[in-house]
Amino acid sequence: MRKDIVVETATHETRIAMLEDNHLVELLVERPEHERVVGNICKGVVTAVIPSIQAAFVDIGMDKAAFLQASDVTSGADWIDFDDDENQDSGSGRGRDREYQIQEMVKESQEIVVQITKESIGTKGPRVTSQISLPGRFLVLVPHANYVGVSRRIDDWSEKRRLRDLARKLKSDDCGVIVRTAALGKSDSELKNDLKQLTRIWRDIEKQVGKTSAPAMIHKDVEMTSGMIRDLFTPDIDSVIIDSKSVYKEILSYLKGVAPQLRSRVHMYDGTAPVFDAYGIENEIGKALHRKVWLKNGGYILIEPTEALVTIDVNSGRYAGSKGHEETVFQTNLEACAEVARQLRLRDIGGIIVIDFIDMEDRNNRRQVHKEMEKAMSHDRARTRMSKEISEFGLIEMTRQRIRPSLLFTFSEACPVCDGTGRIMSRLTMVTQIGRWLKRAKPGLRERKLRLKVHPTVALSLNENGQEKLVNLQDEYKIQLQVEEDPFLHVEEFRVFSGKRDLDVTDEFK
C-alpha cells in the first residue's frame, strides 16, 4: 500500500492529509484561533472532587474546566513492563497494586500538574491526566514511573527484545520509557540522544512548575506540522509533499538530526493549482461533510452523529446483484466495511459507534463481514474496541478513541434555524400556533386590528391559495390581521402588535 502525506499551509490554517493508495484517509487541521492543545502540560487547581463519578475538575486556565478521572491520576504505585501502542493515553495498560479512590488522591484547591489528552469537544472541557508523558522521535519519556514498554507494531520479537533491553539500560529509575515504532533498527546512540533531549525538556518543565502560579500552561507541545513529522513520518511513508518553502526547510532540518535517510522523501510542491486540488483532496473533504457516502457498486452509507453516539446505516441503494438478494446484501456489506473504516478515520469520529449492516440470513456471511470490518479497522491509528460478532439485529457496536473534535465540528457549526436537529417546525404547524395564540388572546384583547410579523416562509403559507389560511383565521376569531414579513425573525417565531398602540403584545397572551 502506498502512503503519502500532503501539507497545505495558509495564514488562517494548516491542513495535513494522509493518503493511502491516493485515497484520503486522515485529515488534520490547525487554525490560529483553535491551536491544538493535546500534549500541553499545565499547572492547574482542583476546583471540585466528585466521588460519585470518580473524577475531579481542574482549572487549567482555559474556558472550560478540565476533566480528570481517577484512573488518570498518578498513585505512586510501582509499574511493570508491558507492550504498548505509542498513541495510547499514558495511563492505560498498566496495573496498580489496588484501586485508589479519587478523594484519596486529590483535594479541592490542590495544585496539580496535568497533561491534556483530549481536546475540548462540544460542551465538555478537555480531558487531562497527571501521568505525564513526553513523546520524542523514538521514545516516550514518562516521568515518575518505572517501567519499559515497546510498541505493539514492532512484531519482530528479537528486535523487540533488543529495544526493551536497551531502554532498560538507558533509563534511570525515576522514569518510564516507551519505545516507539520509529525506533525499529535504530542504534544505541540514536535512542540515547533522544532520551537525553526528552530528559532535558522534563527538567526545564520541573523548573517552570516551581516558579509558576496556577492555573497556567507550563509546556506547549510542538505545533501540528512538526508533530506530524515526529509521529507520522515513519519509514513506511513513501513521500511528504509540502507547499511552503519555510516548512519544507524546517522539516529537512529536523530530519537531518533524527532520520537523514527520510529526507529524500520530502518534496516541495511546485504546481500552480493549490496542492489539495492537485491531489484531489479538496473534493474528498467536501464529500466528508455530507451524511450520505456512495459505494462503488451503487450502495451507500448514512452517517448520523448524535449527542450520545454515532450511527452508521448501510443501504443497498441502486446496487442489484445478479446472484440473488442474500448475495447482493453480502457484497454491499463487504464493500461498506472498508468505506466505514475510512470515514471513521477521515472524519475523526470517536466515542460509541453503531454500524447497522443490511440483514443477512447466512451466519457464515455475517462472520465474514465481521472479519472484514476487523481487517479494515486494523489500519486505524486510534484505539478501537469492537463487539465480537454481528448481533442478531445486524449491528456491530464499537468504540473509537476520541482525542479532538470530529471533522464535522471543525468545518461546520450547528444550524441557527434548526439548532442542529436538521428539522424545523412546518409552515402549517406555525399557522396552527398563530391560531392558538389568537384563541388564547381573544378574551383579553381590547381591539380587533392587529399586525402579525412572521418569517417570509410563514407569510408565504398564510397568503397562498388566495390567502385562504389568513382569511380562515380572521373569520374564526373575528380579528383583522395585517401580515408583515420579517426575515430577521426565526422561522419558528412570530410577533403580534397592537394596531392602535403599536405595542408588541405577543408575550401578554403566551
Provide the pairing of β-strand 111-118 with 127-129: antiparallel
CB atoms inside a 10 Å sphere around CB 462: 21
Give residue 294's pLDDT: 92
What the block records as the C-alpha cell of 274 is 493549490
User: Among 126, 123, 114, which Cα is nearest to 37's?
Assistant: 126
Asked whether 434 and 506 are in contact (CB, 8 A), the reply is no
Give residue 364's pLDDT: 93
Asked whether 482 and 459 are in contact (CB, 8 A), the reply is no
What b/e sequence results for 226-250 when a residue is b if at least 16 CB atoms lie within 10 Å of its CB, and e otherwise? ebbbbbbbeeebeebbbbbeebbee
Which pLDDT tens digit goes with each residue over 141-155?
A: 999 888 899 988 888
Ranges under pLDDT 70 in the chain? 32-34, 74-98, 319-323, 403, 466
Q: Where are the alpha helices (DSSP H) in 91-173?
A: 102-105, 157-170
Give residue 90's pLDDT: 38
Which pLDDT tens digit goes with each residue over 453-503?
A: 999 989 988 888 767 888 888 888 888 999 999 999 988 899 999 887 889
- Tell me which H or E stretch contains 495: strand 494-498
Strands of 449-454's sheet in order across: 480-485, 449-454, 494-498
Q: What ranges make up the beta strands (E) of 316-378?
A: 351-356
Indicate the pTM of the whole model.
0.71
Give residue 146's pLDDT: 85
Taking each helix axis from N to C end, the angle separating 325-347 and 281-288, rounded to the nearest 10 degrees, works out to 110
